Every structure is written in C-alpha cells, then in structure tokens.
Structure 1
C-alpha cells in the first residue's frame, strides 16, 4: 500500500477547500477536533465510522477519500492486479485489530456503493468496539472465518457465507480465529 493513500491529506485538503477549521469540522461531524487532527496528520488509523461522519460533514461521498481520478464508464479490476489499498481500523485508537480495504471502484465517478476486498487481521483481544454509521453493508466471506457482533447478536460466517445488515445497528466485524480472513464488502451510505 502506498502511504495509506494519503487519507489524512485528502481530508485536510477538502476541509481547507471549504474554509473549515478543525473545530467547525468537529462540530459538523460530531467528532473531537483532536481526533480529526490526528487523522489528518496520519498519526492514527481511523475506523470506518468516523470517516463516514467526516465525509457527510464535508458533503462528499466516502469514496472521495479513496479516489485519485474519476472515470465515467465502468471500472474493471482484473484478477491478480492489486487494487489500491487503504488501511482502516475497527478500533478507535488504532492499536490492535486492523482491516485492510482494497477498493474495487476507486476510479468510478458518482458511485453510490463502495465495494471493497477486505483483509481482516486477527486480534488477540476480544474486547471489540462496536460502531455505527448510516447505510447498509453486504459482506461475503471469501476466505477464513469471521464473527460479526450485530446489536446483541453474534454471527459466525465461514467462506461462502454472506450477511446483509443495516449499518445503523451497532456492529463489529473481526476474524473468528487466529487466522487472517478475506471478505468482499459492499457499503452503501446515503448521501
């Protein structure tokens, strides 16, 4: 992955283009200014939930943080050709469990869905932090086993299993074993 795709600098540039201070973006997004500053300086790896809140506060699609160019026609990602990677974490402090997101449509202009291949690295800890954001998610397990905390329920999925869920319900996706898992995820967030 190339510098986590300069996620922090893209957020800072979008904020600057709109003449927003850190405090104004924090107020709009419901996040702390210190958290946004750390994300912009790439001092922490953010989870998906704050990124969605920042995108909505800036009035852009989540995919804007992943885009390098916009392509009007279809976008094809060939087998064996690595998609651009972005590293998010499912932990707010970025210290343990990590999800490596590889966008399958980073160049598609005006998209409403965000398809990713996600590599889920296992964690030795079981105190997973649940998060919530607007939209829906479809998850299909390609390799390994995952667990999904969804509200008060726990779902275990194996290769070939899938789940479609409302992202507004508190949830967390993590490896079910000490082995890495790989999933196809399609995230829809209303704009």
Structure 2
C-alpha cells in the first residue's frame, strides 16, 4: 500500500466527520504542522500518532491499512510478505522502520500484528509517544532498545516485552545492524 492511500483515507474521514487539521491537532494533541506535512507530503507517521488520529476520527487503525477483505483463517506466507509502509527517521531522511502488516486483510480484527524491520536510523531521534492500548514485541533478530517511561531496556534475540502503551515509549535498533521484531498492538474500542 502506498503512503498516499493512507493520507487519502485520513483526509476522507476528516471530511466525513467535518474535522479540519486544526481540530484534528487539538483533539489528538499533535502539532498542526505535523498533520499538514503528513497529509500533503504523504509521510507515514509513527504508530502512536496514527492511533490517535484513528481514535479521533472514530475508526480502527486497520481502516487506514486495509486494501482487501478475506475470510478466516487469514494466512500471510513469509514469501508473500511485503512492506506496507515505512516510517522516516526525519523528513527527507532514510526510513527508520519498515512495517509489514500481518493482519491487513482480516477486517474484523481487534489487534494489529506486524513484522517490523528496525533500522539503525531509528536510534538517531528518539521521540516517545503514547496511546491507549497494549503492545507486545518479540525480537526475532538483532537487538532493540525499548524506552518505557523513564526506564530503558535492551532486548536481544528471543526476548519479548509486553506493556501498556499509554506510558510514553519508543523502540529503536540497538547497534549498527538492523533488528527484526514481531509486534502486536491492541487498541481498545
């Protein structure tokens, strides 16, 4: 899915709910300039801000990701997995995270499962975010740093973490080699 489709979907729901960028910024606590840039430059935001936008617009996070509908069970083969979106380290900088949605076709889901490549660029600027819900992460390859509130944790291959995402947090690569994780995000309705 292209980033353009995501910004188009956000704009569609903004128009449908009669919410302009100023109202969206106020309701989400996000900077107006950030929202304007995200929409006009087709920049994919980190999950925290995207979840806040989805909640404010009254839709599931998956509404911005879904391109198709399937029946149960929904299976994603590793060979068929493709990056759905990337989060930039900064505007006009290389990607810091590549997200592969593992539930995109399951329209009645309550969780958002991902396979994520966390690139070393993710450690350059550590901006904590928070949102309602819970997250679970398991390290498949490499090492990651998890900042959770005022604490910092280093996780290695095989380690996992489960936390309440209302606490400000940030996940980045630890070291010069990309890390790979499985992550599940749950957002209550």
Judge same fold: TM > 0.5, yes or no.
Answer: yes
Give the structure 2 partner of residue 51 of structure 1. 50
* Per-residue CA distance 1:34-89 (angstroms, 9 max, x = gap): 32221112353312111011000000111111101233422110121124511124
Structure 1 residue aligned with 2:20: 21
What secondary structure is seen at the aligned counterpart in 1 of 2:19?
Answer: coil
Corresponding residue for residue 146 of structure 2: 148
C-alpha distance in structure 2 between counterparts of 1:43 and 1:185, whole Å: 24
Query: Is the CA contact 1:66–1:106 (under 8 Å) kept in the aligned structure 2?
Result: yes
Q: TM-score, normalised by structure 1?
A: 0.88
Equivalent in the alignment of 2:157: 159
The answer to whether the 8 Å contact 1:77/1:83 transfers is no
- Tell me how far 1:12 sits from its aligned partner: 0.9
TM-score when scaled to structure 2? 0.89
Q: Decide whether aligned partners of structure 1 residues 13 and 164 sit closer, same or farther in structure 2, where only a CA change above 3 A counts.
A: same
- Which piece of structure 1 moves more, 125-134 or 11-20? 125-134
Structure 1 residues 3 and 124, CA gap change in structure 2 (3 angstroms):
closer
Unaligned runs of 5+ in 2: none
Distance 1:129 1:20, change over 3 A: closer
Q: Does the 8 A contact of 2:122 with 2:172 survive in 1?
A: no
Offset, 1:11: 0.7
Matched residue SS, 1:174: strand
Q: What corresponds to 1:176 in structure 2? A: 174
- Describe the shift of the 1:94–1:129 C-alpha distance in structure 2 as closer, same or farther (beyond 3 A): farther
For residues 182 and 78 of structure 2, the distance between their equivalents in structure 1, rounded to whole angstroms, comes to 14
Q: Provide the aligned C-alpha RMSD in A.
A: 2.2
* 1:24-43 pair list within 5 angstroms: 24-43=23-42
Separation in 2, partners of 1:23, 1:7: 19
Q: Is the 8 A contact 2:123 2:172 kept in 1?
A: no
* More deviation, 92-101/146-155: 92-101
For structure 1, the residue ranges without an aligned partner over 5 or more in a row are: none
